[in-house]
Structure 1
Amino acid sequence: SPQALLAGLGKEILEFRVDGSTEAALSALRSRGVARGDAFAVGARVTVPLHEHAATEAVAVIDEERLRVSEIATRVPTLDDVYLQLTGARIAEAA
């Protein structure tokens, strides 16, 4: 069901643009326990479903890891996020 798909993305989404390697940014967030395997990047935009952590914790990790980011925002997950999560890797590979 759509509700189950949305629930799988957590209660909040953290999204930002990174100046540098998106893989390094995702790796840093995953190693600190903020991001899970469902975090992904398309182009320079990184999307991190927040399951157990608050956005403030994720932003603190971004700061501590000295990641250069811009356009940082949080929002409630949408069905568009479900679609991007399911197709994001293929989109990134095709780019």
Structure 2
Amino acid sequence: MSRDLALAPLRQRLENWGNASRGAYDPVDAARITKAWQTLHIRHRDMLRMVYLWHAPREVVCRRLRIPRRPAQCFELELAAAQAALARALEGASPDRGGG
């Protein structure tokens, strides 16, 4: 299953990562996400932690990270930046790329 999940969209992989303490999940892919997550800038780590692990509401995330609550695109842009940073970290650390 972990090989299938490694090819899944990043959002699905992050949801799997967030389920690690809640029930059924793929531990191999969650470990890959965690390893890449640890290399991120603290702001990106905090954003992903609050959204996917804590399932914090947008208002809480905005308040804690000092993101303007309006317009809502501010939150979306910050989340997209964190996801993009994680995607880059995963691409750089992927052992499956290029021959395996």
Q: Same fold (TM over 0.5)?
A: no
Give the number of the structure whose residues are more often strand, by fraction: 1
Give the number of the structure whose residues are more often helix, by fraction: 2
Normalising to structure 2: TM-score of the pair? 0.31
Normalising to structure 1: TM-score of the pair? 0.32
Larger Rg: 1 or 2? 2
